[in-house]
Amino acid sequence: MDLNGVSAIVTGGASGIGASTARLLASKGAKVVVADLQEDKGTALANEIGGAFCKVDVTNTEDIINAVEMAKSMGPVRVLVNSAGIGWAQRTVGKDGSYDSAANLDAFRKVIAINLIGTFDCIRIAATAMSTTEPLEHGERGAIVNIASVAAFDGQIGQASYSASKGGVVGMTLPIARDLSAIGVRVNTVAPGLIDTPIYGEGENSATFKANLEKGVLFPHRLGDGSELASMVVECITNSYMNAETIRVDGGIRMPPK
């Protein structure tokens, strides 16, 4: 798929993997809607890449519709990248044996609501818009890429909610790709390993923490760069024979229990 002149929506696009993806899409001619809750960062990035910012909470369908309508005003909607997400770590059972110390169920619901249900809501709304666009060669109308995580496969202690949410994204990739084949929309998922994003902080303590994480990466012995992840996302979009696949981008890491 040629990205020149098409509109793309990137949720969680104001920072990290989403921002790297938004920049790469824009460099290839796409008009990008940066859909995020971070107004300052999102607006600055949108101005930098010649796109637009839309404040979006992916648990709010009206916000998603606003982003899609904004994208429609900029060009044919053909691309959605689902990068919005949160993490949460807590053991299933507390140390004192009391019911109150068991894992926070509201936190579990929140992670699922954002990472899994929010992803599906974005897909169903954006794909609806894609279904009304003129088909390209071979009937192609659009491409969707979800960002999961290696935690979908190698979840660590305390990652029950996060792994469940990302495992759900992996699990729904094939059935949604089969479903949306009827309208010429491809669906793939990319599962990052340890990517160097602002989530790890800055300074000496951050550097020490990241150096410890790097030990588990098979090769190369470092954290991944956002641009390397974005490259795979864009390949899934532009390569019209990529469909219904989940791809790990992780330097060969297999996460240990903790």
**Which residues participate in catalysis according to the annotation?**
162
Cβ contact 53:43 at 8 Å = yes
Distance CA 214, CA 194 (A): 8
Q: Which residue has tokens 């509201």?
A: 106
Instruction: Say if residue 200 is exposed, middle or buried (CB neighbours under 10 Å; 0-12, 13-18, 19+).
Output: middle
Distance CA 15, CA 199 (A): 10
3-state helix, strand, coil in the chain (%, to 5): 50, 15, 35
**Vertex 189, ends 187 and 222: CA angle to 5°?**
155
* Alpha-helical runs (H) found in the chain: 16-27, 39-49, 61-74, 105-112, 118-130, 151-154, 160-180, 204-214, 226-238
Q: Which residues pair with 224 in a beta bridge?
A: 195
